[in-house]
A and B are shown apart, each in its own frame.
Chain A
Amino acid sequence: MKRLWMGVRKRLRGAGELLAKIWAHRQGKVGLIMVTLLVLVAIFAPYIAPYNPYDVSQRTTKGLPPSWQHPLGTTINTGQDIFSMLVYGTRVSLIVGVTSGVCIAIVGSILGVAAGYLGGAVDTLIMRIVDIMLVIPTLPLVIVLTNVLGRDFWIIILIFVALGWTGLARTIRSLVLVLKNTNYVKAAELAGASRWHIMIRHILPGTSHLVIMSTALSSAGIMVAEAGLSFLGLGDPTAISWGKMLAEAQSGGALLFGAWWWIFAPGLGIFLAVFGFMRVGLVLEEIANPRMKRTSSVYKLFRSLDSSYVEEVFRSMDDYQRIGVEGVSSGGGQSRGTGLEA
């Protein structure tokens, strides 16, 4: 039990270190700020949104352009406050995006590790499924599935996960094939490790950077995909989502009436969310790539060096009388240690 707790603490510390590393990157800072803001907006939506977004009773306020009362205007057909809709829409996008991203990471990495490490029939089976799923066109499949299974919020997430795990599984499998042949795995096998031990303690941690990065990037992708689905009318009809806002904007004639704010708002939302997540994902990728690891911290060190200290260090390296063809002695150099003997 104690070992489990120590393991958890280590993971948390590792997570903390990772966040610090992302923060150190200029782009990472931007990404983290945006993601945090979005999360806060999603959580505190009821306090941030000035109006109830579902309120369709205000018929007098239809089609208003942005103003102080309605920062992003109102919808043409129902008079809903667009800013509030945007705020509430954050919830759907984030939940769908992040949940799907995390689930894809879990499913993809487990299947990828299994395929790569266990090989044989397991590998063949999983890879054939991956191949089949790649061949089937996604959109028609989604349409069929939503018709069959319904358009419930969680069903949508399930569909995203079911279609999205394949890419990660493939990538992880390639990495596992490499990790499998490292000497430290061989050493563990020699000590009698079970395959389970090797997969959990050596292989899976070796893929962690890939998994984390993929989670960030696929969350971004899924948010866009969700918006697309809602736009096509395949999403959850009861939830407010940015995609749905776009759909309503189109059908409500926003373009016709020049109500640019109605289109701008959800577009902005999607852009900000995707941008934030992608920044974090790309920075994670850089961090994971060992060759790029040191550059930014080294530059910082470099600039913060005290130049007089550096000069002193250099001076301390001189022999206090240099022998050379020229017979030059460098005056003023200090020799290391004390006591200059005669």
Chain B
Amino acid sequence: MGEGRAVEQVLKLRNLKVVFPTDYGLIRAVEGVDLDIYHRECVALVGESGCGKSVTSQAVMRLLDSPPALIRMDVLEFDGRDLTQCTEAEMQEIRGKELAMIFQDAMTSLNPVMTVGNQIDEMYRRHYGDSKQAAREKTVHALELIGIPEPKERANSFPHQLSGGMRQRVLLAMAFACMPKLIIADEPTTALDVTIQAQVLKTLRGMQRGCGTSLLLVTHDLSVVAKMADRVYVMYAGKIVEKAPVKELFTNPHHPYTVGLMAAVPRLTDEKKKFTQIPGTVPSPVHKPSGCYFHPRCEYATERCRREMPRLEPMGRDRQVRCFHPLGVGGKSSD
């Protein structure tokens, strides 16, 4: 999955900037984010609440309303097509068929007064012009693929009659229905129980690999990333601070924030009664620190970190870090 080979690139985003004007000041939500997603891969965009990852995913789908947001980007190419030049009508064609999205709360994403079968049927009828019967056949097949028992009967249920996990899987079925090139999943399992989360993730991963769809996984949960992603972008206060293939990220993280995030994840193998936390809090999106945004919370911060914003530097094969003193690279060790 390196840059050298000519692998088909599904998404190319360069220099995305998003700003929201409010009564309190200008919210700098996204500050110059680049993303590359290639064919058949799962890319994770990881960060805490408020880091701008959801705004980024919405901007990619061009679902961000321009008042109130102010959006700039140099390049947004989807499957070779320049999305910035598309009209809303063209975007609506693309969304659902080639570019799909899965949100966190299935209950608000599904129409409560339509059966789930009808909702999935609609995808087929709208994008392929299928007849009612043909669409329903495809729907039942999709539900079966997703692992929903008794798909024919289930298709006639309403969303509130299904459990949380089932609803999430219906959303998956809808997203995969038209075999899109790219699916953006924004916190798809955050609200779910542990065993249901495992089910949904396993299904998602299986579908993604089976259908050859690329997946952009937006989440705050590193343990989900460890199981699902091929490459990872770590985001903090609107900027990408680290980019790496998943194995390298977890075995040898470079950015102090990444190290902190990983240490904060509770593990069954941890010591009792000791929770490692990242000191301080995420900066307010209106008043960001000078220099490197992470410096107030970083134990390795120097005077330079206080004055200057580091830029994203390449650091090994397909890796980038935004730090003047990255860890795990000769010299300092990360643990």
Contact = CB atoms under 8 A, between A and B. Distances in A.
B291 A324 contact: no
A249 B70 CA distance: 60
B304 A319 contact: no
Nearest to A307: B70
B312 A336 contact: no
A310 B18 CA distance: 11
Contact of B67 (A298, A322, A325, A335): A298
A317 B312 contact: no
Interface string B33-44: 010000000000
A336 B21 contact: no
B298 to A, nearest CB: 16
B308 A313 contact: no
Most chain B CB within a 10 A radius of its CB, from A305, A314, A317, A341: A317
From DSSP, what is the main secondary structure of chain A's interface residues?
Answer: loop
B19 interface: yes
Contacts, number: 67
Interface stretch (B22-30, B115-123, B156-164): B22-30
Interface in A292-342: 294, 297-299, 301-302, 305, 310, 313-314, 317-325, 330, 335-341
B72 to A, nearest CB: 5
A305 B23 CA distance: 12
A318 B32 contact: yes
B15 A322 contact: yes
From DSSP, what is the main secondary structure of chain B's interface residues?
Answer: strand
Contacts of A335: 308-309
A302 B70 CA distance: 9
A301 B26 CA distance: 10
A337 B314 contact: no
Contacts of B307: 337-339
Contacts of B308: 335-337, 339-341
Contacts of A298: 21-22, 67-68
A297 B23 CA distance: 9
A318 B67 CA distance: 23
A281 B72 CA distance: 40
B95 interface: no
B3 A337 contact: no
Interface string A203-233: 0000000000000000000000000000000
Given A302-B68, A341-B308, A336 B3 contact: no
B293 to A, nearest CB: 9
Contacts of B21: 298, 301-302, 305
Contact of A313 (B19, B68, B290, B312): B19
Nearest to B32: A317
Given A305-B21, A313-B19, 18 more contacts: A298-B21, A301-B22, A301-B23, A302-B67, A305-B70, A310-B19, A313-B26, A314-B17, A319-B32, A319-B311, A322-B15, A323-B320, A330-B15, A335-B309, A336-B308, A337-B290, A337-B307, A339-B308
Interface of A: 294, 297-299, 301-302, 305, 310, 313-314, 317-325, 330, 335-341
Q: Which 6 A-B pairs have the closest CB atoms?
A: A319-B311, A317-B31, A302-B67, A298-B68, A336-B309, A317-B32
